[in-house]
Homo-oligomer: A and B are copies of this chain.
Amino acid sequence: MASAKYSNQSRYTVAVDCIVFGYDGQNLKILLVKRALTPLKGKWSLMGGFIAKNESADEAASRILADLTGLKDIYQEQFYTFTKPDRDTQERTISIAYFSLIDIKKYKESISTAYQAQWFSIKDYPELIFDHGEMVKMAQKRLQYKATSHAILFELLPDKFTIPLLQSLFEDVYETNFDKGNFSRKMLSTGLLQKQKDKDKTGSKKGAYFYKLDKKNYQQNLHKFLKLVPNPNNFI
């Protein structure tokens, strides 16, 4: 192992920031925290932190998310690195941005306490520090883009969910409405859903069957997920 360093090069702090998405059955939401550091202490921001000496960015993102939510093995994806020299007013900091998808209900309790964290609708959230607003916008676009061809939105739902709930999630993510008949048939045609015996009767008198993701066929049928979103053109 060499001990020499690259001479005459600048070095910067490198951070990870996480856009955490959740879905409460009504609205797509993001999780924000009140910033603990100066500058701008107390302002709303994304959950983030610096990359430590012996961890990768992925590991840092996992650590930060576990710290905030108490959750491990969360879906997360690096999507862009923000590098404008003056993006952080304190000191030049490179930020590697991630988005995460979590089941909001399952973990609602464990979250809110620690960091003064709070869920906000993606359509109405407070002003954020630095370029975090830009990060959120980009994360939302990436989520739309990715979900046209990958079965990732299930990560936002409980283990058992109904097709009408799934549809309302898609409608909220894509800010549009789908025909229920066509939506249902497309989803079922992927072979990804396993029908359960029980129904959810909270939403209607007839009740809607619960489904689970079929993890056995998950990998084999993932490619069928293409074209699930009508007119994906608009989101790409």
Could you tell me which A residues sit within 8 Å of B by CB distance? 1-2, 4-6, 9-14, 37-39, 50-58, 78, 80-81, 83-85, 89-94, 96, 149-150, 223-224, 226, 232-234, 236
Give Cα A8 to B103, complex, Å. Answer: 34
From B4, B10, B50, B150, give the contact of A90 (CB < 8 A): B4
> Known interface pairs A78-B80, A81-B57. Does A51 touch B91 (Cβ–Cβ under 8 Å)?
no
Give Cα A81 to B89, complex, Å. Answer: 23
Residue of B with least CB distance to A86: B1
From B1, B54, B236, give the contact of A150 (CB < 8 A): B236
CB-defined contacts of A236 to chain B, threshold 8 Å? 149-150, 223, 226
Q: In the bound complex, do residue A39 and residue B9 qualify as a contact, i.e. CB atoms below 8 Å apart?
A: no
Q: In the bound complex, do residue A91 and residue B5 qualify as a contact, i.e. CB atoms below 8 Å apart?
A: yes
Q: In the bound complex, do residue B6 and residue A85 qualify as a contact, i.e. CB atoms below 8 Å apart?
A: no
Q: In the bound complex, do residue B6 and residue A90 qualify as a contact, i.e. CB atoms below 8 Å apart?
A: yes
CB-defined contacts of A38 to chain B, threshold 8 Å? 4
CB-defined contacts of A58 to chain B, threshold 8 Å? 83
Q: In the bound complex, do residue B39 and residue A56 qualify as a contact, i.e. CB atoms below 8 Å apart?
A: no
